[in-house]
Amino acid sequence: MRDVDMLLMQQVVCRIAILHVRQCETWGKVQIPGLEAMDIEHLPDLKLRGVTCYHHAMSTWERSSDLLWAYEICEPDFGENETPSDWASQFRFKVDLTEIPGCVSRFPEGRRSEYPLIKCLDQFLGMAADYGGALPSTHRPFLCPEIWMPDILLLKRAGFIFQVGDQFVWTSKIGPAMREQYLWTDSNECAAEARARAQEELAWKMWQSMPDNIADMIFRNPADKHRAAFVGMAFRFWDDRELCWGTKALDRGRISALVKIADLLEQAGVLGERGRVP
């Protein structure tokens, strides 16, 4: 493994440990500092040894628990009613933060295929880009928050990102990790942008195909009620499976999705004060 890849792996595993602890129910048991810039060469002296944390019932946190367990950073803390197995409801840290790089470097060479760098990165992205939302998954250039700069600069050295002025852009090398977290599609398109585009297309399809009688029921309301009326009519008459208006929706869309579509139409000026555009 290249030196820069090992440094990057140590960096992201340390970051995963901190993010994992901060999200778990450890308050009062350990003083966790605010998330801040963390340079692998100058790690804060954070005492994690003995801290018990839950793995959370979400795949991102379960996989991070497995990763920390594999590197012997954590060990399962089986409860009285639990039988020791490959799953535990909570974990206990075996080491302090400054000891984690050593755990990573000592990981047996024969097992590195189980947790290669790209797998560590997909866990990192699951927390930093997906769950935490701190780092974007877009292909467009982005400004890096100062706290993430040490991570980004190591990613740049390892070829996962490149710099354009004071901004950064992900390279295709990060693709497997992004796809594993469903942040990119199989064609390496940003999944969030693909969903937004599909939702915008659906909004216009709903608007342009809306029957006159439904439009009349919406616009008989005061202008400031058009948005809510649209959501109500769509919930009653838009079939989310057949993608068409009907006399009764057989497969109703979720209210939250319909509200977002109403927001798009309102922003486009076809709801509210300006009324219906022919």
Domain ranges of the chain: 3-132, 193-274
pTM for the predicted model, two decimal places: 0.77
Question: What pLDDT shows up at residue 221?
Answer: 87
Is residue 21 pLDDT above 80, yes or no? no
Q: Of 84 and 144, which is predicted with more confidence?
A: 144
Is residue 123 pLDDT above 70, yes or no? yes
- Residue 239 — very low, low, confident or very high, per pLDDT cuts 50/70/90? confident
Mean pLDDT score of the chain, rounded to an integer? 84
Question: What pLDDT shows up at residue 7?
Answer: 94
Looking at residues 43-49, what average pLDDT do you find? 85
Looking at residues 68-75, what average pLDDT do you find? 92
Question: What pLDDT shows up at residue 34?
Answer: 56
Is residue 213 pLDDT above 80, yes or no? yes
Give the position of tokens 């076809």: 270
Looking at residues 133-156, what average pLDDT do you find? 89
Question: What pLDDT shows up at residue 272?
Answer: 65
Looking at residues 97-121, what average pLDDT do you find? 91
Q: Indicate the range of 66-75, 78-87, 134-143, 164-173 predicted with least confidence.
A: 78-87
Looking at residues 256-277, what average pLDDT do you find? 79
Looking at residues 185-209, what average pLDDT do you find? 92
Question: What pLDDT shows up at residue 278?
Answer: 39
